[in-house]
Amino acid sequence: MRILIASDKFKGSATGPEVAAALAEGIRSSAPGVVIDTAPVADGGEGTLDAALAAGFEPVTVTVSDPTGAPVSARFAVRGDEALIEMAAASGLDLLPEGRRDPGGASSFGTGELIRAALEHGARRIVLGIGGSANTDGGAGMLAALGVSLRDGEGRPLPGGGAALARLASIDVSGLDPRLADTEVVLASDVDNPLLGPRGAAAVFGPQKGASPDDVARLDAALAHYAALLERQPGVRAATRMGGAGGAGGVGYAALAVLGATREPGVEVVQALTGLAERLVGADLVITGEGSLDEQSLGGKTPLGVAAAAREAGVPVIAVCGRSTLSPEAAAAAGFARVYALSGIEPDPVVSMAEAPRLLAETGRRIGADLGALVAPGR
């Protein structure tokens, strides 16, 4: 019997590879004859880099700017002329000092530096995974790092952050890194929000980054001003209303408008990078999961993408999670033969998160003991 473990991270508890390793350990302890293959997956946000590295990409470490402008060591992944960038590595909320959020001042400059580093390593296809960002700057910082000039009314370079965009007076895209003209950029994101308005970057994601209602209004106005100036430049697409433009504080907008990016569902992009379809061939059972399995998961998160791929391959799939709020009927409709939640072993969420590897191994033992009921005879 062959089992494929294709799980996302349990945020704050275990990475995708750690989830897979703990489950595999538990399964082998109760079903020692089982062959286990692991394929950590993600949805384009945090954990995407781990998935790419597990699939055979090589890590490259560079020093870039964090959301405050301070130097930070960040990795991206390369395989041939393809690069995978997880923007949270340079511009993530988790990089803010002592967790102090700065929705108006945080910049995406470091993400642009990662793109530039990927170009210097010969990348001609760049997958930009967005999620977990600290900024609401419309990707202005990213563009500045790639050679775009943004200046205030006195001709001075504009400081980083979305709030400063209100003082933006001129933009010049002629200095954009010329290598991007011959580079395919893929925006890996399930976010379909536009840049502006009630579903935009500031209104929907700003509060998660510490923005007050007044901050949201100011940032949305600043982003509108910035977009109006940017879209007057030659070669820039009108992209404020495009799905995904609001992703990562508007980095999606800059990628779509200036870098000519195409947006693809993050789950599908990662599945292609990791060769999930090929690894499903010959599997008898697929195990997927994430920290919380809930209604948001049904909107296209990693477990649903894996379940869809498994269903297409005719392989039964089960889910493992920290907690689940899905009814048995909703879980079944999503394609899961069974859901194993760590909360069923340890109801205290603080303990569950702190001891996730141990609880995942115990869950693996339970799955191993249940294999007769989970896998149809003859598979």
Q: How confident is the model at residue 274 (pLDDT cuts 50, 70, 90)?
A: confident
Q: Which amino acid is at 126?
A: I
**At 11, is the pLDDT very low, low, confident or very high (cuts 50, 70, 90)?**
confident
Q: What is the pLDDT of residue 55?
A: 87
pLDDT for the residue 80: 96
Residue in 98, 51, 97 with CA at minimum distance from that of residue 72: 97
Q: pLDDT, tens digit, for every residue of 232-265?
A: 999 999 999 999 999 999 999 999 999 999 999 8
Rounded to whole angstroms, the Cα distance separating 49 from 77 reads 7
Query: Quick one: 339 exposed, middle or buried, by C-beta within 10 A (0-12, 13-18, 19+)?
Result: buried
Please write the tens of the pLDDT for every residue from 321-377.
999 989 999 999 999 999 999 999 999 999 999 999 999 999 999 999 999 888 865
**In this predicted structure, what is the pLDDT of residue 378?**
52
Question: Which CATH architecture fits 48-266?
Answer: Alpha-Beta Complex (3.90)
- CATH architecture assignment, domain 2-39+275-374: 3-Layer(aba) Sandwich (3.40)
Cα separation, 276 vs 310, in Å, equals 9
The whole-number average pLDDT for the span 279-301 is: 86
Q: Are 252 and 244 in contact (CB under 8 A)?
A: yes
- State the pLDDT confidence band at 105, using cuts at 50, 70 and 90: very high
> Which 8-state DSSP code applies to residue 237?
-
Q: Is 71 exposed, middle or buried (0-12, 13-18, 19+ CB in 10 A)?
A: exposed
pLDDT of residue 239: 97
CA angle, 123 as apex, 66 and 45 as ends, to 5°? 45
Read off the pLDDT band of 54 (50, 70, 90).
confident
Which pLDDT band, with edges at 50, 70 and 90, does 185 fall under? very high
> What residue ranges do the domains of the chain occupy?
2-39+275-374, 48-266
Q: Give DSSP secondary structure letters for 142-196.
A: HHHHTT-EEEETTSPBPPSSSGGGGGEEEEE-TTS-GGGGG-EEEEE------SS
